[in-house]
Amino acid sequence: MKNKINRLVTSKNYLRLISFYHKFFGEKFRKEISVPKIFDSKIHRLNLINKIISDFQLKSYLEIGCDQDEVFSKVNIENKVGVDPVSGGNVRSTSDAFFKKNSDFFDLIFIDGLHEYSQVKKDIINSLKILNSKGIILIHDCMPLSYLDQAIPRGQRKWNGDVWKSIVELRARNDVFTCVGCFDQGIGMILKRKNDQVLKLSEDNNFIFKDLSYENYYQNFDKYLNLIDHNKFFELIKDYRIS
């Protein structure tokens, strides 16, 4: 049943219908964001993950959302857990159910499940609870460049969802540092350390992040995501791991 539902919501006819819905009932602001100059199209998330594991000698890996095993099966680490309710990985479960039962901790966690703010937020909060000391959380699909790239519900094949809203919320926290690597589809990184670049959206940061619009995102793209290049990405990890 889950496979059938997944095929339905990614079918061409269904996506065309949803795109029409967004055209008439979605946000009217539709300007596209220019690809940032520091964007590196050569870097793929799999290579990034394997380099982090190799360079920093990590021992355990958790992947949330494995789909067709594009990443999970090729991650070079012995102790790895992949969670997906439909296909891929080695644990057939929703992330919510997995986190309720899990008692293991991990050095590296890659979140690439349902690309919707509310679910990504839960996956991040649960991942922070089981992160080893000096552990790293990576989040896929943080950098949509058009309205439909991030519109909910999904209205096209290329889709990042509104993962970006969870990045904005994390950036407003004091206890974790968050940035986005400008490669792949935007790879968010969370380091469990004091945030020296707290994002201020209001005087007290008492903000409803789910209500952020695409226009908000467009106008504050660099500021919201804290975009960095590949070299800075690894410099931050190195400083974090040895501090």
pTM: 0.95
Token pair 């290579």 in the structure block, residue: 47
Distant-in-sequence, close-in-space partners of 205: CB < 8 Å, separation ≥ 6: 172, 198
Q: Where are the domains of the chain?
A: 38-242
Task: With residue 82 as reference, give the H or E element that holds it.
Answer: strand 79-84
Digit-by-digit pLDDT tens for the chain (243 residues) are 555 555 656 789 999 999 999 999 999 999 999 999 999 999 999 999 999 999 999 999 999 999 999 999 999 999 999 999 999 999 999 999 999 999 999 999 999 999 999 999 999 999 999 999 999 999 999 999 999 999 999 999 999 999 999 999 999 999 999 999 999 999 999 999 999 999 988 766 677 899 999 999 999 999 999 999 999 999 999 999 998
Q: Pairing relation of β-strands 79-84 and 60-64? A: parallel
| Alpha carbon of residue 40 to chain centroid | 17
- Range 38-242 has CATH code 3.40.50.150: yes
Let me know: does 129 contact 122? Beta carbons within 8 Å: no
The whole-angstrom separation of Cα 42 and Cα 183 is: 8
**HEC readout, 91-123:** EECCHHHHHHHCCCCEEEEEECCCCCHHHHHHH
pLDDT for res 8: 58
